[in-house]
Structure 1
């Protein structure tokens, strides 16, 4: 897997066309699509799905979000080598977490809060992981500027969310604790009010600082290149475009489609990654590697399964506590599983 550039260097993860379509261009393409649908009937006309108000755009992005969340199980449970190494994590922990969430309303709300903010960290880490693969493929020293890369992704993804125009949308989940009277719940329900009073200064601080950070980052890599090192410019493009997209989408939300834009490209990248890394093993275990239509048929089944789950969640009656708890478990396991699958995959293959 991977396309080679000059002098035998494998620059791409899969191929130029695949990488640009599913990894490198999605942030910019999603931004363009978000701007295009802003103010349209697709984004504004009200729909009622499972008794809840939404829009066409909201329904579609919700399906895609949950589709990419459940796709992690194709990296874990559908990979025998990984599954055998971590049986407790994959087979014991999920039902225990589900039971706790189903039985305790307080834990259910806590799980929702944890999932909301874990998602922020996870999204930055995913982009960081792509970049490290591009550097490895380019022959760039793996420890060079690693910390700078990591914090660029975390700060430019998390910063605009935690201090931008959509900050209160992320903090509103804390208001669910108002039905409880313990000290921790009383503290958490005050956070949105306290932070809201400082939002303007937080937003412009992050916007200004983030823009300077991206410029510094690009210039830093130009300096490394002049010293004779060969960083992956595909990585630099991915990080800079994602960072600027995050800053001005989450930070200002000028078109009102920040949630749609950022989740669209993240989910597309992840689904592209799962297919690229796992489908070879599926074909081998099914013994259909040589079948001419095996790959497109398997791709269709994969997409249908994950989108089917996404549609199931979006049309789910949330009063069904057990099923709603299941969707929270899938979200939490996605963030947890994917973090360590990234770290063990090179040793596993």
Structure 2
């Protein structure tokens, strides 16, 4: 992207149009999808992507280890929003204490529960990622002075289409559905047939997604025109975010551009998530780590926050998943991330 054009666009908008400020938003919310796509291109075919080494009994490439740690780090970061924010924790104490404990115990006591949660995590991740972009889009719409309800359902379905559509229609579809093979461990042969069925019928899903997607995009544009006649003001930041994220999703999930689909999509998603957590929770993090009275306490809190989350990320990536207790723990963190974040966005909507 032309940095001069980006700077000109940023300066043309009022500061209130941004979630934090122009520099912060472009660095951590708006540019990451395109930047991640560029990063995927840069690392393709290099030692960073292809070189292999063994660590803790696992084979990694540098990029594989980095994205694995980054994914797990952003997953556990939600606990600083839920348990680390006293106001939110007091609102949902049972959700934050009993539910993860019961889920963990269920997976320890039942292989069926363990496999079901593992497969659920794969597809909930897709939905959750689409809804994160939806959340940012709605905030930018609200910042531009629009009614929070105007066009909400349109944006919701557009984000699902732009994120999940390329998965169903693209080359990475089988990478998502192959998780159903895990049901073989509990003798559920019906579910183990799903990956082969989806692969054998992918062309039909692809044509259905393309046809329905084109029809919906035309309807979306028409609906936006109708809303504009009623006083709706199109947020250029929202349009850029949706267009860039949608294009990156199609190029990566749809075609696995440069062979780095999982790296690209997870990299920008995790980066955006860390950006929103720090933007909204830095005051709580300073208090949590008790560094408010120290010089540069805010930056020390940031360092401790990143150290804690990335420390967990490294541990989770290197943990032995053949040990049920460890696998169940990482799955509990994943599921709680998806669930907690879904209603924390709603709880904090008045603050953004």
| Structure 1 residues 212 and 58, CA gap change in structure 2 (3 angstroms) | farther
| Residue 343 of structure 1: aligned partner | 346
| Residue 295 of structure 1: aligned partner | 298
Q: Does 1:108 align with 2:114?
A: yes
**Contact residue 82 and residue 348 of structure 1 kept, 8 A:** no
Unmatched runs of 5 consecutive residues or more in structure 1: none
Q: Does 1:18 align with 2:18?
A: no
Quote how far apart the aligned CAs of 1:283 are.
2.9
Cα distance per residue 1:38-75 (max 9 Å; x no partner): 12121122222332223111110000000000000000
Alignment of 1:37-116 (within 5 A): 37-116=43-122
| Structure 1 residues 208 and 250, CA gap change in structure 2 (3 angstroms) | farther
| Structure 1 residues 10 and 186, CA gap change in structure 2 (3 angstroms) | same
2: CA distance, partners of 1:34 / 1:7: 30
1:48 aligns to what SS in structure 2? strand
- Within the candidate set 176, 183, 190, 1:177 is matched to 183
Alignment of 1:153-164 (within 5 A): 153-164=159-170
1: CA distance, partners of 2:123 / 2:277: 23
Quote how far apart the aligned CAs of 1:190 are.
0.8
Quote how far apart the aligned CAs of 1:200 are.
3.1
| Residue 325 of structure 2: aligned partner | 322
**Contact residue 5 and residue 11 of structure 1 kept, 8 A:** no
Cα distance per residue 1:130-183 (max 9 Å; x no partner): 1111111111121111111000001111111123111111111111112333xx
The two structures have a TM-score, normalised by structure 1, of 0.90
| Residue 280 of structure 1: aligned partner | 283
1: CA distance, partners of 2:338 / 2:163: 16
**Contact residue 291 and residue 301 of structure 2 kept, 8 A:** no
The two structures have a TM-score, normalised by structure 2, of 0.90
Quote how far apart the aligned CAs of 1:299 are.
0.8
2: CA distance, partners of 1:87 / 1:57: 38
Q: Which runs of structure 1 show a deviation greater than 6 angstroms over 4 or more consecutive aligned residues?
A: 4-9
| Residue 121 of structure 1: aligned partner | 127
Quote how far apart the aligned CAs of 1:288 are.
5.4
- Within the candidate set 251, 259, 265, 1:248 is matched to 251
1: CA distance, partners of 2:222 / 2:64: 38
| Structure 1 residues 9 and 304, CA gap change in structure 2 (3 angstroms) | closer
| Residue 257 of structure 1: aligned partner | 260
1: CA distance, partners of 2:350 / 2:143: 17
| Structure 1 residues 196 and 287, CA gap change in structure 2 (3 angstroms) | closer
Aligned residues: 343
**Contact residue 177 and residue 198 of structure 2 kept, 8 A:** no
| Structure 1 residues 288 and 310, CA gap change in structure 2 (3 angstroms) | closer
| Residue 139 of structure 1: aligned partner | 145
Q: Does 1:266 align with 2:272?
A: no
Unmatched runs of 5 consecutive residues or more in structure 2: 1-9
